[in-house]
Amino acid sequence: MHEVKTKAYLLKVIKTFPQTNLEIKELPELPTALLVLVRGQNPRRNIGYRCDMDALPVNETNDLSFKSATQGIMHACGHDIHMTVGLGILNYYSEHQPQDNMIFFFQPAEESESGGKVAYDLGAFTNDFRVDEFYGLHDNPLLKAGVIGCRKGTLFAGTTEVNIKIQGKSGHAAYPHLANDAIVIAANFIEQVQTIISRNIDPVKCGVITFGKLQAGVIRNVIAGEAEIEGTIRGLTQEMIEFIRQRILEVASGLEKSFNCQITVEYNQGGYYPVENDPRLTERFITYMKNNTKVEFEETDPKMTGEDFGYLINKIPGTMFWLGVESKGSLHSADFLPKESAIKMGIDAVIGFLNYRMNLEEN
């Protein structure tokens, strides 16, 4: 929700496009969000295109003229690529009036805080800004630059953020019997929870539990009285997420007894539902991409990444797809470096598809 400069920059660029058919909508309760309506010539439907805007608290290690200018914050998930492709498509339709109405949604807070869900729940997509079908892409460092990847059904996992607080008792390093070491409890908790994946779920089904943050202790010779752990749970189905959530509660309750401590577990799924591509829209999208000789298309497997676009296409039918950007550094890493050539290829592929789609009579 900190995308203030990013939004100002987007607006500055959009103001340089022909304005004849453009209308901007802002959401006072989600001030960094930006919606742009492009009025169609002969609209039969409203087509939504979404790109996310937020960055991550990662310090970029690439040495480039266009590297992040903000210490400790970078577009390590490629949302700068997403916005640039979005701007390219919007620029094209501001100059070539589309058949249908188009709604461009520049969305804050994809990585956390569920910006897409917040916008939807605030009524962003109502009246003139109603969306009948939604499209959006995510960049993929493992695909060659410009390759479009997609699949029918589940593309991305659903996720739930989990926060754990362990309350032990601090004390002198030399008197462990008079304290209750929260670091030892945290270590046991993490070990036991990982066995949910290795020992409780069917190995051919998918689940992930990652704890990305652990904080405990102040100095080497004071036993830590508290520990805090932050993580994320992932599953390709809502049932799997529910199962993992339940098992974590059971592990926490068992450890409370065995260590005589207090453990609180908090969950927040927000809008990170599994990304379930609509079968009809996605079939059409894949057929177009496969038959377009200028596009290299790859049918992809589901991935355990999350996306709050999952919430939007749970409410409005839609298709999410990958754009290959061929980076050595992975998503969320300090050396993530998408190939810029993917931008133009992505813009051309999406415009080609949207023009084809808008010329179809059927829904």
Beta bridge partners of 249: none
| Distant-in-sequence, close-in-space partners of 8: CB < 8 Å, separation ≥ 6 | none
Closer residue to ligand L5K734KM, CB minimum distance, 14 or 157: 157
Tell me how crowded residue 8 is: count the other CB atoms within 10 A of its CB: 11
| Distant-in-sequence, close-in-space partners of 219: CB < 8 Å, separation ≥ 6 | none
Shortest Å distance, C-beta 173 to ligand L5K734KM: 34
Shortest Å distance, C-beta 279 to ligand L5K734KM: 22
- 256 tagged catalytic: no
Q: Report the greatest alpha carbon distance in the chain.
A: 79
Q: Which stretch binds ligand L5K734KM (CB under 6 A): 40-48, 57-65, 99-107, 304-312?
A: 304-312
C-alpha pair distances (Å), 82 with each of 166, 173, 209? 39, 51, 27
Residues 158, 313: contact at Cβ < 8 Å? no
Tell me how crowded residue 352 is: count the other CB atoms within 10 A of its CB: 15
Shortest Å distance, C-beta 205 to ligand L5K734KM: 19
Write phi, then psi, for 163 (nearest 5 degrees).
-120, 130
Cα 313 to chain center, whole Å?
13
Candidate residues 54, 100, 111, 326; the one interacting with ligand L5K734KM per rule CB under 6 A: 111
Beta bridge partners of 52: 107
Closer residue to ligand L5K734KM, CB minimum distance, 84 or 94: 84
Shortest Å distance, C-beta 343 to ligand L5K734KM: 18
Residue at 183: amino acid letter:
I
Closer residue to ligand L5K734KM, CB minimum distance, 183 or 201: 201
Per DSSP, the three-state class of 6 is: helix
| Among 111, 113, 161, 181, the one annotated catalytic | 111
Shortest Å distance, C-beta 96 to ligand L5K734KM: 31
- Return d(Cα 39, Cα 103) in angstroms, integer: 9
Closer residue to ligand L5K734KM, CB minimum distance, 49 or 336: 336
- Return d(Cα 297, Cα 146) in angstroms, integer: 9
Closer residue to ligand L5K734KM, CB minimum distance, 209 or 252: 209
Give the residue among 347, 315, 346 at the shortest CA–CA distance from 116: 315
Candidate residues 259, 272, 285, 353; the one interacting with ligand L5K734KM per rule CB under 6 A: 272
Candidate residues 21, 62, 97, 112; the one interacting with ligand L5K734KM per rule CB under 6 A: 112
Candidate residues 34, 58, 77, 155; the one interacting with ligand L5K734KM per rule CB under 6 A: 77
Beta bridge partners of 165: 228, 264
Closer residue to ligand L5K734KM, CB minimum distance, 181 or 276: 276
Q: Which stretch binds ligand L5K734KM (CB under 6 A): 5-13, 242-250, 299-307, 337-345?
A: 299-307
- Return d(Cα 307, Cα 273) in angstroms, integer: 7
Stretch 223-252: interaction string toward ligand L5K734KM, x if CB under 6 A: ---------x--------------------
Residue numbers annotated as active site: 52, 111
Interface residues with ligand L5K734KM (CB under 6 A) are: 77, 111-112, 138, 159, 161, 232, 272, 305-307, 331
